[in-house]
Structure 1
Amino acid sequence: MPGTGSGARAWLRSHSVAASAAGAAGRWIAANPIGGRERWQRTNFAGKTVSLLGGPSAVVGLVAGSVAQRRFGTAAGLSAIGAVGAYDDLYGDSATKGVRGHLSALRGGVVTSGVVKLGVVSAAGVLIARGESSPTRSTVSLLRDGALVAGAANIVNLLDLRPGRAYKAALPAAALPSGGSIGGVITAGIGDDLRGRTMLGDCGSNALGAAIGAAVVRDTPPLVRWAGLAAVVGLTYASERTSFSEFIAKHPMLDRIDRAGRDW
């Protein structure tokens, strides 16, 4: 938990609101899945059936936690990202992979669900950046911060391929002053994710990544944000050429962290 005094209280309030909202939403959504439970089920890497319903509940928690901190632009942006992620989960074209694949399809005149998501996430990233950045920001800094938010959304989405991985990647951001909602959502959801009962899907992982980007924009100096943008660009480039899962498996320390908390 960061800081003391009013900052710590704000973090705790956001954490508590996010955890409670995500938990309550998860129970309601599980009992009332839109389109039926089967619509939200997927087979994971181990051949187990998991539910994507962890995603919408995470989005509810992130939005509620942002509202608790009066970060209304971030709440609106995360809502849009969660909605387009859910659209991609339910109606997306799984045959087209990666940013390059979707852009290639667009050049061929095909508008994939991934292209729609890319457009919405990019616009929402700028919206979030406008609310989180300094009022005296330049156009360049606004575009940098918007790209950082959108890029972080994509990276966490790429990590959501093993139980608990996306949540673990979000842990450092939960320690930031604006990271209370991230911590609350991790508290509410990581247990079922590690057990292979639920996963975030595009809906939850894109929103969680965008929330990480928002916290970095709000709480770190420009140099750190430039470094963050360079990191997400580099990781996005690398993801087009190699599998994150294969890379993690080849490095013992990363593999141990990745497997921590999983009993299968």
Structure 2
Amino acid sequence: MSQLTRAAGRAFLGGLAAGGTIAAISAVRRSKWSKDLERVNHRGDTVSLAEGPGVTIGATAAAVAGAASPAYAAAAAATGLATGALGLYDDMADTKGEKAKGFKGHLSALLKGRVSAGLVKIVGISATGLASSALVDTVSDRRPEGRWARLWNIGVGGGVIAGAANLLNLFDLRPGRALKVASAVAAPLSRPAGPKARSTASSGANTALAVSAAAAAAMGDDLEGKTMLGDCGANAVGALLGLSYIARTGPVGRHVALVGIAALIAASERVSFTQVIADTPVLRELDEMGRNKA
């Protein structure tokens, strides 16, 4: 494939992700469910969660279009749409007064005999991550030898996808923050795969490219405090980045990512990411960049 053809293909995927995101957000905001997707943010302003379904649709469509195999296309579709739908279910539970938040909150609710929407989401996203990881494994040319080694590798890959979905959601607390984090992670993952890369690397690169373009399309309104990702968008975008990562890396990379993700999620139960960002000058400047301060 020539460089010109590759560049044209990447431009098409970026346009599909961005255009699909903008069109989907607009359609959701005009729908009969638009009022149900309104929330009050940390400043007391009303924002729309329409961005979540919009980014999910735009990024997933381009990730599927950029897949190099039917199995990876199925993994991308399942990862984006299933995690997005589960996140939307959790978003809508907020409207009905769902109070359980965080792992401790979901566990406490379960001990009281109540299955929280968040727990349903966690279990569903975990199952989706495992299924998507298994699909990637079927078309990988560098699978670990031995049945148990392969199963373990699939499990770690599923953990990366599910963990990334959860982790990105923890950053969706201020305008533009989660999209900036997603864009920063997607940048190295979206680089074109080299000739010696694993067979799934090009699909992974296109998935990250789709996330970058969808995030860029939604960034303006998010920074202005008009829309936000919500659980729907944050879970889908995070999961797609996790999928991109496992498509480009082997067992060692997967283990490193899973340990890092697990450590950050565990830390979030005790430490406020917002406070850490506020107390760190460089992170604070990056976090506030482009944000509407009026």
TM-score (norm 2): 0.83
Q: In structure 2, what is the equivalent of residue 90 of structure 1?
A: 92
Cα separation, 2, equivalents of 1:215 and 1:252:
31
User: Contact 2:167–2:265 at 8 Å: present in 1 too?
Assistant: yes
Change (3 A) 1:209 1:60: same
User: Contact 1:23–1:57 at 8 Å: present in 2 too?
Assistant: yes
Confirm or deny that 1:102 pairs with 2:106: yes
Change (3 A) 1:210 1:33: farther
Letter in 1 for 2:209: G
Say which is worse superposed, 101-110 or 205-214, in terms of deviation: 101-110
Identical positions, percent: 38
User: Contact 1:173–1:216 at 8 Å: present in 2 too?
Assistant: no
Confirm or deny that 1:165 pairs with 2:177: yes
Cα separation, 1, equivalents of 2:74 and 2:174:
32
Q: In structure 1, what is the equivalent of residue 82 of structure 2?
A: 80
Say which is worse superposed, 70-79 or 22-31, in terms of deviation: 70-79
User: Contact 2:79–2:243 at 8 Å: present in 1 too?
Assistant: no
SS at match of 1:50: strand
Deviation at 1:5, TM superposition (A): 5.7
Cα separation, 1, equivalents of 2:253 and 2:214:
24
Change (3 A) 1:4 1:126: farther
Structure 2: runs of 5 or more not aligned: 68-72, 145-149, 191-204
Say which is worse superposed, 67-76 or 108-117, in terms of deviation: 67-76
Change (3 A) 1:127 1:10: farther
Q: In structure 1, what is the equivalent of residue 247 of structure 2?
A: 218
- Name the count of aligned residue pairs: 260
Confirm or deny that 1:154 pairs with 2:183: no
Q: In structure 2, what is the equivalent of residue 22 of structure 1?
A: 21
Deviation at 1:94, TM superposition (A): 4.1
Confirm or deny that 1:249 pairs with 2:242: no
Confirm or deny that 1:203 pairs with 2:232: yes
The C-alpha deviation readout for 1:157-185, integer Å capped at 9, x for no partner, is 11100000111111133332231110121
User: Contact 2:98–2:117 at 8 Å: present in 1 too?
Assistant: no
Deviation at 1:95, TM superposition (A): 1.9
The C-alpha deviation readout for 1:130-178, integer Å capped at 9, x for no partner, is 2334263501110000000000000111110000011111113333223
Change (3 A) 1:124 1:197: same
User: Contact 2:172–2:229 at 8 Å: present in 1 too?
Assistant: yes
Q: Which runs of structure 2 are paired with 1:3-152 in the superposition (5 Å)? A: 4=3, 8-34=7-33, 37-70=34-67, 71-92=73-94, 94-133=98-137, 134=140, 136-137=143-144, 138-152=150-164
Deviation at 1:4, TM superposition (A): 4.7
Letter in 1 for 2:276: F
TM-score (norm 1): 0.92
Deviation at 1:29, TM superposition (A): 1.2
Cα separation, 2, equivalents of 1:193 and 1:108:
37
Cα separation, 1, equivalents of 2:260 and 2:98:
26
Structure 1: runs of 5 or more not aligned: none
Cα separation, 1, equivalents of 2:89 and 2:42:
22
The C-alpha deviation readout for 1:218-238, integer Å capped at 9, x for no partner, is 123332222211111001100
Change (3 A) 1:150 1:10: farther
User: Contact 1:12–1:180 at 8 Å: present in 2 too?
Assistant: no
Where does structure 1 differ by over 4 angstroms across 4 or more consecutive aligned residues? Answer: 3-10
Deviation at 1:7, TM superposition (A): 5.1
Cα separation, 2, equivalents of 1:101 and 1:188:
34
Q: In structure 1, what is the equivalent of residue 209 of structure 2?
A: 180
SS at match of 1:45: coil
Deviation at 1:45, TM superposition (A): 1.0
SS at match of 1:149: helix
Deviation at 1:76, TM superposition (A): 1.9
- Kindly name which structure, 1 or 2, has the bigger radius of gyration based on alpha carbons: 2
SS at match of 1:170: helix
CA RMSD of aligned residues (A): 1.8
Cα separation, 1, equivalents of 2:184 and 2:271:
24
Cα separation, 2, equivalents of 1:98 and 1:18:
31
Cα separation, 2, equivalents of 1:212 and 1:10:
20
